[in-house]
Amino acid sequence: MNSFTEENYLKAIYHLGGAGNIAVNTNSIAELTNTKAASVTDMLKKLADKGLINYIKYQGVTLTEKGKGTAINIVRKHRLWEVFLVEKLGFKWDEVHDIAEELEHINSEQLIDRLDTFLGNPKADPHGDPIPDRDGIFHKKELIKLADLIAKQEGKISGVNEHSAAFLQYLEKAGLTLGTTIVVKEALEYDGSVNLLIGKKEITVSSKVAKNLLIQL
Amino acid sequence: MNSFTEENYLKAIYHLGGAGNIAVNTNSIAELTNTKAASVTDMLKKLADKGLINYIKYQGVTLTEKGKGTAINIVRKHRLWEVFLVEKLGFKWDEVHDIAEELEHINSEQLIDRLDTFLGNPKADPHGDPIPDRDGIFHKKELIKLADLIAKQEGKISGVNEHSAAFLQYLEKAGLTLGTTIVVKEALEYDGSVNLLIGKKEITVSSKVAKNLLIQL
DNA sequence: ATATATTTTTAGATAACTCTAAACTTTTAA
DNA sequence: TTAAAAGTTTAGAGTTATCTAAAAATATAT
The sign of the dihedral angle between the CA atoms of A56, A57, A59, A63 is positive
> CA triplet A97, A103, A104: central angle to 5 degrees?
85
pLDDT band at A141 (very low <50, low <70, confident <90, very high): confident
Using CB atoms, pick whichever of A89, A108, A118 lies closest to residue B99. Answer: A108
**Phi-psi category of A14—alpha, beta or left, where left has phi over 0 and alpha has psi -120 to 50?**
alpha
Q: Give the model's pLDDT for residue B140.
A: 80
pLDDT, mean of residues A104-131: 97
Is A27's CB less than 7 Å from nucleic acid strand C? no
Cα separation values, A74 from A71, A127, A140, B178, Å:
5, 17, 18, 36
Q: Give the model's pLDDT for residue B1.
A: 79
The sign of the dihedral angle between the CA atoms of A174, A178, A181, A185 is positive
Please give the share of chain B, as a percent, with pLDDT higher than 90.
Answer: 95
Could A89 and B111 be called an inter-chain contact, meaning their C-beta atoms sit closer than 8 Å? yes
- Asked if B151 reaches chain A (Cβ–Cβ under 8 Å), the answer is no
Is B108's CB less than 7 Å from nucleic acid strand C? no
Could B99 and A88 be called an inter-chain contact, meaning their C-beta atoms sit closer than 8 Å? no
- Asked if A90 reaches chain B (Cβ–Cβ under 8 Å), the answer is yes
Q: Give the model's pLDDT for residue A38.
A: 97
pLDDT band at A140 (very low <50, low <70, confident <90, very high): confident
The DSSP bridge partners found for residue A156 are A181, A216
Q: Give the model's pLDDT for residue B141.
A: 83
Chain B CA closest to residue A81: B111
Using alpha carbons, select from B74, B61, B77 the residue that is nearest to residue B111: B77
Among A111, A113, A114, pick the best mutation site for testing chain B contact (most B Cβ within 10 A): A111
- Asked if A99 reaches chain B (Cβ–Cβ under 8 Å), the answer is yes
**Cα(A10)–Cα(A7) distance, integer angstroms:** 5
Among B96, B99, B109, B112, pick the best mutation site for testing chain A contact (most A Cβ within 10 A): B99
Among A3, A96, A99, A116, pick the best mutation site for testing chain B contact (most B Cβ within 10 A): A99
Could B115 and A85 be called an inter-chain contact, meaning their C-beta atoms sit closer than 8 Å? no
Whether residue A2 contacts residue A67, with contact meaning beta carbons closer than 8 Å, is answered with no
Give residue-wise pLDDT tens across range B68-93.
999 999 999 999 999 999 999 999 99
Distance B44 CA to C16 C1' (A): 22
**Phi-psi category of B152—alpha, beta or left, where left has phi over 0 and alpha has psi -120 to 50?**
left
Question: Using CB atoms within 10 A of its CB, is residue B82 exposed (0-12), middle (13-18) or buried (19+)?
Answer: buried
Whether residue A215 contacts residue A156, with contact meaning beta carbons closer than 8 Å, is answered with yes
Protein residues contacting strand D, judged by Cβ under 7 Å: A 25-28, 37-38, 40-42, 44-45, 55, 57-58, 60; B 3-6, 33-36, 38-39, 42-43, 46, 57-58
Nucleotide nearest to B5 (CA to C1'): D17
Chain B: give the shortest CA distance to residue A73, in Å.
18
Give residue-wise pLDDT tens across range B153-188.
999 999 999 999 999 999 999 999 999 999 999 999
Q: Give the model's pLDDT for residue B5.
A: 96
- Asked if B102 reaches chain A (Cβ–Cβ under 8 Å), the answer is yes
Instruction: For residue A25, give the 3-state DSSP assignment.
Output: coil
